Structure formats: C-alpha cells, structure tokens
Structure 1
C-alpha cells in the first residue's frame, strides 16, 4: 500500500524537505520563490493525500502514520530555517516556538493515547490553524523578495501570530482530551 498515490504524495512531502532546506542557503529571490513554491506544493499534497485516500478507500495504517509526521517534519524544518536565516527574528520567534512545542506535545499525546487505543480526531479549528500556519510560512519564506509594494514579511508574521494563538487553543483541547485518559483510574477507561 506504500505505492498508492495518497502515500506517494505523503512521501513526496518528506522528500521535498531537504530541497527546501537547501534553498535557504542560496541568496537572492529565485531560491526564496522556488522554496515557497515547493512548500506550497507540499501543503497542497497534504490536503490531496487524505482526500484521495478517503475517496478511493485507500486509507492505510502507513498513511495514517506518515501523514502527521510529514506535516510536522516539513513545518519544523522550515520554521527552524526561517529563524536561522533571520526571516523570523525578535518577538516573531515566539509564535514559531509555540507552534513547534505544540507539535511535539500533540505527537506525544497521540502516541500515548494510541497505546490506550484512543484516537484523537483533528478538529475543524486545528485544520484552520494548519491552513493559516502554512500560508504564513509561505509568506515568510518569500520575505523581502516579495513585491516591494506589499509588506510580505509583516503579513507572514501576523499570520504566524494568529496560527500560534490557534495553536494554543487547539493544543489545550488536545491536552484536555489526553488528561482525561491519563488521570482515569488504573484499569478503567474514562468517558
């Protein structure tokens, strides 16, 4: 099932990460625009892989495993590169840290809850958070190489702050759901 189109799309998101990261090491507008284009394409595959898997009834355990990992690896790698290259600096680093910490926490919660055979569905608000986060990161990748008349970096930073606020809300929702199971009496399931 690894060779199904949805899984290939997911794997392509992972495969594109080194290319996007490498482009940060080249100065000028074309590497920034190519990196932003590749990042956008990866974000689009995030929607298509799940949609196609459900539509074609090709949902698989490997796909369910790889999809969130691909998303987190892509976002983490690009946020780290944005900070390292000072596309994000000063207080704007804070929302990037919040986003990264939430991703680690949610991954840990999902792993813990999977051991209890408890699924954690993705909320609609979490999907909005992801969409805003991806748009903001795309703007920040382009940064100063965007159209001179547009405050590209400012737009990206505002989007990142909005994504971080939604990250706190959705992270708290996930943590509350996890705590119900963590604090349940031993041997029993919580409601």
Structure 2
C-alpha cells in the first residue's frame, strides 16, 4: 500500500521542513522559534515511529525504505543550513554541522553503492545514539535565545552538536571501513 501509516509519518517529516525554515526566516520572534521547535520535535518523533509502525504492523515497503533515509537527510540538512544562515551555529560551532552533513552524504552514497552489490548496511546502536544526540542538539539550537533564562539552550545545543559530531565521525568511519571491504574486493559477496 502506497500511503500506509508508516509512509504517511515519513512524508510528514518531509512536509514540516518548509514551515520550520519559513518560521525562522520570516519571523524573528520567540513564538516562531517555539513553533519551529514543536514542528521539529514532531519530525523527530515520526523518525522513531515510522520504522516502529512499519515493522510492528507489517507495513515495511520499498517506498518506505526509500523515503525514510531521504526524509532524515533532508531534515538534518535543512536544519543545519537554517541554523548556519541565522547564526544558530556561530563561530567554530559550524564545524560539527559540516561534519554531520559530510557524514550524512558519504553514508548515503555508501549505502547506494552497497545496495548495487547487494550488501546491506544495518544501522548500528552507536549510530542511533548519534541520531538522538543530533536531534537534541538541534532542538536546543532551534529554541536558542527564546528559552527561559535558567536554560542556556544555545550553550547546551552547541555542546551537544560537538558530541554528535564526534559520534558522527566514529560511526561514519565504521560504515566506511565496512563499505571499503566491499569496494576493494575484500568483503564477502563482492563481484
């Protein structure tokens, strides 16, 4: 079924990207940051539930397997670009954003290559932690100066984005090392 619940959740993650970015660029007010955060939080929740629903309700589909990683990459790339454009990743904090983007693009290309040689690349548990760290970091950075004075959202977000970048490097290296075995002919099942 083309539009099952799991695929609708994934598509909704793509659909909220433009409103999140629009709120940031057209409204420089606290309510806009909180609304963007709410939409972002919704997108993060759908990232968990689309896969859970697909597996538990037997709704795994080729469309879902195609759309899920694309929705993830589009959301992360848009958030990093938006934060970079409005100063939400100031100074050296732009570096972990770039590291995260580079890893996402590299792993996507690696997955595409491995799919051609019919080798699966499952998501590691460390990569799931990396994703969680990213989600938290970008959530704090979206709220930024709109947070209550007691919660230094910008500082917390910047610390978490550095931690996410470190996990990004580790998991990216793990995936690349596993993929290189198949690219160089040292892996099982290579041509």
Q: State TM-score, norm by structure 2.
A: 0.96
Aligned-partner Cα distance in 1 for 2:189–2:69: 26
SS in 1 for 2:10: helix
1:165 aligns with 2:179: no
SS in 1 for 2:58: coil
Match of 1:152 in 2: 153
**Counterpart mapping for 1:3-14 below 5 A:** 3-14=3-14
Match of 2:65 in 1: 64
SS in 2 for 1:37: helix
SS in 1 for 2:28: coil
**Does the aligned pair in 2 maintain the 1:2–1:8 contact within 8 Å?**
no
Aligned-partner Cα distance in 1 for 2:163–2:50: 26
Deviation at 1:39, TM superposition (A): 0.3
Deviation at 1:86, TM superposition (A): 0.3
Hey, which bits of structure 1, 4+ residues long, moved more than 3 A?
none
Match of 2:128 in 1: 127
Coordinate RMSD, CA, aligned: 1.2
Q: State TM-score, norm by structure 1.
A: 0.96
Aligned-partner Cα distance in 1 for 2:63–2:116: 17
The superposition leaves residues 83-124 of structure 1 with CA deviations (integer Å, 9 ceiling, x where unpaired) of 100011101000000000000000000000000011100000
**Does the aligned pair in 2 maintain the 1:96–1:164 contact within 8 Å?**
yes
Aligned-partner Cα distance in 1 for 2:183–2:177: 10
Aligned-partner Cα distance in 2 for 1:93–1:80: 10
Aligned-partner Cα distance in 2 for 1:2–1:30: 36
Match of 1:141 in 2: 142
Deviation at 1:2, TM superposition (A): 2.1
Match of 1:18 in 2: 18
Aligned-partner Cα distance in 2 for 1:102–1:2: 30
Aligned-partner Cα distance in 1 for 2:64–2:189: 27
SS in 2 for 1:24: helix
Aligned-partner Cα distance in 2 for 1:65–1:119: 14
Consecutive unaligned residues of structure 1, counting only runs of 5 or more, are: none
Aligned-partner Cα distance in 1 for 2:2–2:136: 29
Aligned-partner Cα distance in 2 for 1:124–1:180: 21
Match of 1:81 in 2: 82
